[in-house]
Amino acid sequence: MSDSLMFQGSLRVQPQVGLPLGSGCPTFAFPFDEVETLAVKHYDEPTLTVDTPVPVDFGSVTNAAVIVISVANGLKVVAQITSADGVDQAVPVDDTLILFSRTVPVTAINLTRVPATATKVKIFLGEKTT
């Protein structure tokens, strides 16, 4: 059985209303409509309680094509992502990361918190159908 993941909306940047000249930059809009059929998915809400890198539990997912990491309470983590393109590629997550990696699946993630700060994280992993 499979599920459909849909990530839809738009990103828009425009000068603030009421400012005489604003930024002087034109309005920019970027629509997105990402749809992926997932064969396997995994959701977890760990609390990071140590200062060393913590491996993310992938559950039954072996090749993640969709990754969502959300850090609670305005905190941040560093995600070290492993794929065929490299090992432990560091990405700061302050406070949300959404990654679609359709042709180079992610096979491992380690999370490192700010030292001495218990950090609650929400993680979603999805493996696409073949």
C-alpha 67/C-alpha 125 separation (Å) is 5
User: Where do the structural domains in the chain lie, given as residue ranges?
Assistant: 40-128
Structure confidence at residue 21 as a pLDDT band (50, 70, 90):
low
Q: Can you list the positions of beta strands (E) in the chain?
A: 3-13, 28-44, 47-48, 54-55, 66-71, 77-83, 86-93, 96-100, 106-113, 119-128
Domain range 40-128, CATH class? mainly beta
Quote the mean pLDDT of the chain: 92
Residues 130, 68, 121, 62, Cα dihedral to 10°: 20
Q: Whole-prediction pTM value? A: 0.88
